[in-house]
Structure 1
Amino acid sequence: MGRPRTNDATVKARLVECATELLATRPQESVSVRAVATAAETSTAAVYSLFGDKKGLIGAVRDKAVASLFQAVTAVPTSEDPLADIYALATAYRRWGREHSHLYSVLFGGVQSFTPSGTVGTGDPVRPLIAAIDRALTESVLDGEATSIAVSLWVTLHGLVTLELAGAFDAPTAEAAFSSTILATLRGWTTPAVFRSLRHDEPAP
C-alpha cells in the first residue's frame, strides 16, 4: 500500500496528532520531522508541504490545544455570581486538562507555553476568566488588578492540575485539594465585606 498523499487533510490531522503525542512524552529538541512523519505513516515531504517546517508543525499543535481549551472554557455558562463563574471556569480548565492530557502537556510543558498576559485576543482561553474577574471587580466582589488576579488563579490552578496529572494525588485528595485551594485563592482577592460573608457562604462549585 502506498503512502497517503502529502496534501491530504487527513494526513495533516494525523501529523498534528502524532506530533502532540511525541511532544507530550519527549523533549521538544528530540522530536524530529522524520520521527513525526514515521509515526503518522507518511513522508517528511508531507510535513514540509503542509506546515513549512518543524516550527510550523509545533505551532499547529499549540493552536489545536489553545482552540480546544478555548472551546471548553467558553462553554461555561454565566450566572449572577461572578465568584461562582470563576470557580466554574477553573473546573472546566481542570476537566479539559484531565480529558486532554497530551494537549495539556504540550501547551504547558515548555512548547511555546501559554500564559495569561495583559494582551488578551478574541480566541485566548484566558478571556472568559478576565471577563469574570472584571465583572467581579465592577461589582466590588474582588479587589485588585485583573491581570494580577488572573495570574494568581492560573498559577494555583496550573499547579493543581499538573500535580494531578502527574499522579501526585488519589481521586478524593485531588477533589478536596482543588476545591479548598481555588476557594482559598478567591477569598484572598475578595473585598473585606465579601471575605467576611464567604467565611460562612462560599461560592457554590
Structure 2
Amino acid sequence: MARPRIHDAELRTRLLEAAAETVAQHGVDALSLRKLAAAQDTSTTAIYSLFGGRAELLVALFATSFTSFGDAQRRVPVTDNSEVDLGELAVAYRDWALRNPHLYAVMFGGVLGSIDVGAEAHRADAAMDPLRDAVARAVAAGTMAGASVESISHSFWAIVHGLVSLELAMPSTSDDETRRAMFDAGKDAVLRGWSRR
C-alpha cells in the first residue's frame, strides 16, 4: 500500500494563503518558515519540499497571486460588445480583489520588497491580456479612440486599480451597494472618456 502524500497541492495552497496573510499584514520580514509550518500543522521540511525555501515561497506567492487574478479575468465572457466586456472585466477585478485582499497586497502593495520575481514577471503581464484584448477590439470596431491600445488599457487599469485600492485601504461606513455604486461611477466615467459614441 502506497504511503499517503503529505506534501500535496492542498497543503501548498494553505501555505501560500497563510504566507500571503502574514506578508500583507506584517511585511515580508515577518514571514518565518518555522511559524508558518507550525500554524499549518506541518513541518519546515514540507515547505522546503514544496517550494525550495523562503525566497522560492515568496516567488511562488507572487506567481500564484497573478495566476489567480488572471484566471478570474479570463473567466469573463467575451461578447460582441467590447465596452460591455471592459465593464465586466472591471467588476471581476474588484470582486477578485475583495475576495483576495492578501493576494492583492502581494501583487500591488509592494510587500515583497526586494524579492526577485523576474522569472515570474510574465504572469503579471499575461493577467492583463483580457483587458488589452477588449480594448483592441473596441479600437478596431471604432468605438474607442484617441490613443494607442496600450495607453487606453493602461488608463483603464489605472482607474479601476485606484478605485479598488482605495476601497481596500480606506475604512468605510458605506454598505456594499453604495461602494459598488461609487466603483461603477468611476468605471463608467473612464469608459465614457475613451468612447466615440
Residue 139 (str. 1) matches residue 144 (str. 2)? no
One-letter amino acid of the structure 1 residue matched with residue 167 of structure 2 = E
Instruction: Report what 1:51 is aligned to.
Output: 51
| Structure 2: segments with no counterpart, 5+ residues | 114-120
Q: Which structure ranks higher in relative contact order (CA pairs < 8 Å, sequence separation ≥ 6)?
A: 2
Q: 1:122 to 1:138 in 2, by over 3 A?
A: farther
Instruction: Report what 2:194 is aligned to.
Output: 189
Q: 1:24 to 1:50 in 2, by over 3 A?
A: same
Cα offset, 1:181, TM superposition: 0.8
| RMSD of aligned Cα (Å) | 2.6
Aligned mates of 1:152, 1:127 — CA distance in 2: 15
1:66–1:107 Cα contact (<8 Å) kept: yes
1:73-88 correspondence runs (5 A): 73-88=73-88
Q: 1:122 to 1:31 in 2, by over 3 A?
A: closer
Q: Deviations over 1:47-84 (max 9, x none)?
A: 22221121210122222222221221111112221111
Instruction: Report what 1:104 is aligned to.
Output: 104
Cα offset, 1:121, TM superposition: 6.3
Cα offset, 1:85, TM superposition: 0.8
Q: 1:77 to 1:12 in 2, by over 3 A?
A: closer
Provide the identity percentage. Answer: 38
Cα offset, 1:128, TM superposition: 0.6
Number of aligned residue pairs: give it.
184
SS of the aligned residue for 1:124 comes to helix
Residue 179 (str. 1) matches residue 184 (str. 2)? yes
Q: Which has the higher helix share?
A: 2
Cα offset, 1:126, TM superposition: 0.7
Cα offset, 1:129, TM superposition: 0.6
Q: 1:81 to 1:9 in 2, by over 3 A?
A: closer
Q: Deviations over 1:4-52 (max 9, x none)?
A: 9774444323321221221221111222222322222222232222211
TM-score (norm 1): 0.78
Cα offset, 1:154, TM superposition: 1.4
SS of the aligned residue for 1:41 comes to coil
